[in-house]
Chains A and B, each alone.
Chain A
Amino acid sequence: QVQLQESGPGLVKPSETLSLTCTVSGGSMRGFYCYWIRQPPGKGLEWIGYIYYSGSTNYNPSLKSRVTMSVDTSKSQFSLRLNSVTAADTAVYYCATMKAPYSSGPSDYWGQGTLVTVSS
């Protein structure tokens, strides 16, 4: 059974960089798109973007100038960096793997999510 686990600091200072890693276990990342989706407390979901296992990326235009995603298939990990954070970036961050760049599907796997708070 494929499992995803997010890891990283739960508290980030304003103007600094948020860094999260998603570790995939129980299966291969080959052929999968690796997504990041976030959810501010009490609010809805926001698509951050994805990185394909081969390294190509697609980001939400509203975050594109601040987002960088990377993948390390040898470690079965993919990562998110979001720089110049503000309180508006406080959210639960989910990682997920999907077979397609345009839709969820029957082979989706999600992490449990990790809360990142931006505060001094």
Chain B
Amino acid sequence: QSALTQPASVSGSPGQSITISCTGTSSDVGTYNYVSWYQQHPGKAPKVMIYEVNNRPSGVSDRFSGSKSGNTASLTISGLQAEDEADYYCSSYTSSTTWVFGGGTKLTVL
């Protein structure tokens, strides 16, 4: 199972919006609405920000939103804040009943 494809890095200024893409195949992202997004600050455990494509756990800011089209899922962060600077990972369920993660995207808030 190959890793999902994410851009290595994205950046934006405070207040702006950014989108991180996560491209898979018809065996994972394209078939299942089980895409999650995680935020990871240095030295910390990942924290789920979005699950099942577009659902936010309680306590996660509504500035974070998820969507999916075909084999590509996306995470959008609006109104960028300094504390959003972190690594972001996507994951998807697969037709092999396993999970696959993306390679991760480093978000820099300028």
Residues of chain A touching chain B, judged by Cβ–Cβ distance below 8 Å, are 37, 44-47, 49, 58, 60-62, 94, 101-106, 108, 110-113
Contact = CB atoms under 8 A, between A and B. Distances in A.
7 contacts: A45-B89, A102-B97, A103-B36, A103-B51, A104-B36, A110-B46, A111-B45
Interface in B27-51: 32, 34, 36, 38, 44-48, 51
Contact of A102 (B32, B48, B58, B89): B32
Question: Looking at chain B, what size class is its interface with the partner chain?
Answer: 20 to 34
A10 B10 CA distance: 34
Nearest to A113: B45
Contact of B99 (A44, A47, A108, A111): A47
Given A45-B89, A61-B98, A105 B52 contact: yes
A60 B98 contact: yes
Interface of B: 1, 3, 32, 34, 36, 38, 44-48, 51-52, 55, 57-58, 89, 91, 93, 96-104
B46 A61 contact: no
A46 B101 contact: yes
A105 B101 contact: no
Contact of A104 (B3, B91, B97, B104): B91
